[in-house]
Amino acid sequence: MGNGSSPKQTASAKSLPQRGRELWGRVQPAMDRMGQMMDWPMQAARSAFGRIVLTIAVVLIVGSNVIWLLERSDADNSFFSTNYLVGIGDALWYVIVTIATVGYGDKTPITLAGRLVGGILIVSGVVLVSLFTATASSLFVARRIKDGDTLDAETLVGHTVVCGWNRNVPRLLAALSKAGERDVVLVNEASNDVVEPHLKAYANLRILFVRGSFTQESILTSAGIKQASYAVIVPDDALTTAGTEESDEQKTVLTSLVIKEMNPQIRVIAHVRQRENAAHLKRAKADEVIVSDEFTGELLANHVAHPGAPQALSELMSFETSHTLQAQEVPPNFVGGTVGAYIDYLRDNGNLLLMGFAVREEGFGLTQAMRGGSDFITEFIQQQVQAAGISMSTDERIVVRLNPPPDYVIGGKHTALVLT
């Protein structure tokens, strides 16, 4: 019985693990905070800016200690005391002003070794300060563009998406700005330095930038393509400068197909450099195709045969002149009437001259192809096609009617082309 443990001792022994857990519970938060503090340099080292800052810190610490070790002296002509707390402060000050390329000259090394270290610090300072400034500037630019990258597709309705980047895009943006207020989303793979100067350069445009390949549905979704009214596809310098112009044209065709699949109602205007690719774009459901140098021969011939006509056409297309060719909606009270009354209305309201009409016509499709057959068979086939979800016709196309006669009847899908 004498060897048995007392109840008090047993209770005390059993409480030791519990006390250990309580003690660890108090210590653990402090250990976690210490771990986070130790992990901060590693996290900072993962970014370019963090690596530069850490490098500068290491150079300051190492450089000041090396200068103090080489230059410490109690002599009257010494700038660095043998007392560490005093001398290291002076050395740190010297390293800071040397790296910053300020060089006050209040403290200078005397020994040859110290001056060699000082020379290394000067060169290192030039490099480090340049890297620090460039990286900080790029971070600010990236942040500004990132603010424009975060698009809320629900808030973008009726905007214009421009896919691709080349030297004509700034001219396109300037012309859109002069035409009126609108939202524009740029989608391309150009560098931030190329795109960023144009984001705030046009008074009437709210320009947003999505960086990425415009053939990807996720990128186009970020640009709000499903709610957009227009998509403009231009040859991308990122491909053409690399000597892959054919790949760029193929990308334009693919982009038109993807956009039309995502938003069948959007109007796609595509620009190609090779005439033979225009047919491919039409098959890819592009509404309008612009071919480089398509009318060069005609313009040259008109300069010879009709001097002044090409100049007038150029002035009408420019937004820089006072007289421009514009499209205007026809007031509802003139729809169904003849063009004569509308011409008088335009002349009395702004001295506008009617040049013609842009008429939205239904594209050729199954309905037109089956005209003239049995009505019963035609109706049956149309019902089956519609039930299968197949479009009865191609997209609407725009047909221009120039210089209409006075008895021409204005339809509901007519848009007036007027000379301002």
pTM above 0.85, yes or no: no
Residues 113 and 245 in one domain: no
| DSSP one-letter string for 370-413 | TTTS-HHHHHHHHHHHHHTT--SB---EEEEEES--TTPBP-TT
153 Cβ contact list (under 8 Å, min separation 6): 221, 222, 224, 226, 227
Residues 100 and 196 in one domain: no
How large is the C-alpha radius of gyration of the chain?
Answer: 37
| DSSP one-letter string for 140-154 | HHHHHHHHHH---GG
Residues 176 and 275 in one domain: yes
403: left (phi over 0), alpha (psi -120 to 50) or beta: left
Residues 174 and 121 in one domain: no
Instruction: Specify if 69 maps to a domain.
Output: yes
Residues 271 and 190 in one domain: yes
Residues 193 and 270 in one domain: yes
Instruction: Specify if 59 maps to a domain.
Output: yes
Round to whole Å and give the CA distance between 255 and 232.
Answer: 10
Eight-state DSSP code of residue 293: T
Instruction: Specify if 179 maps to a domain.
Output: yes
pLDDT in tens, the chain (420 residues): 445 545 444 444 445 556 656 666 665 666 666 555 555 555 544 567 778 888 888 888 888 888 888 888 777 656 777 788 888 888 888 888 888 877 676 777 888 888 888 888 888 888 888 888 887 777 776 665 555 544 455 578 899 999 999 888 998 998 888 888 788 999 998 888 888 888 888 888 888 888 888 989 989 998 999 999 999 999 887 655 555 556 678 888 889 999 999 999 999 999 988 888 888 888 888 888 888 887 788 888 888 988 888 888 888 777 777 777 888 888 989 888 888 888 888 888 888 888 888 888 765 454 554 455 455 555 655 555 555 554 544 556 778 888 888 888 888 888 888 888
Domain C-terminal end among 145, 168, 191: 145
Instruction: Specify if 255 maps to a domain.
Output: yes
Residue 159's CATH number? 3.40.50.720
Domain C-terminal end among 107, 122, 145: 145
Instruction: Specify if 177 maps to a domain.
Output: yes
Largest CA-CA distance found in the chain, in angstroms, rounded: 131
Q: How many CB atoms lie within 10 A of CB 123?
A: 9
Q: How many CB atoms lie within 10 A of CB 194?
A: 13
Residues 247 and 137 in one domain: no
As for how many domains the chain has, the answer is 3
Residues 195 and 269 in one domain: yes
Residues 352 and 397 in one domain: yes
Residues 274 and 337 in one domain: no
Instruction: Specify if 310 maps to a domain.
Output: no
C-alpha torsion sign, points 261, 265, 271, 272:
positive
Residues 269 and 183 in one domain: yes
Instruction: Specify if 211 maps to a domain.
Output: yes
Residue whose C-alpha is closest to residue 330's, from 265, 408, 261, 231: 408
Output the six-digit token pair for 44.
């900072």
Residues 112 and 180 in one domain: no
Residue 113's CATH number? 1.10.287.70
Residue whose C-alpha is closest to residue 317's, from 355, 287, 348: 355
Contact 99, 56 (CB under 8 A): yes
Domain enclosing residue 132, as ranges: 48-145
Instruction: Specify if 323 maps to a domain.
Output: no
218 Cβ contact list (under 8 Å, min separation 6): 212
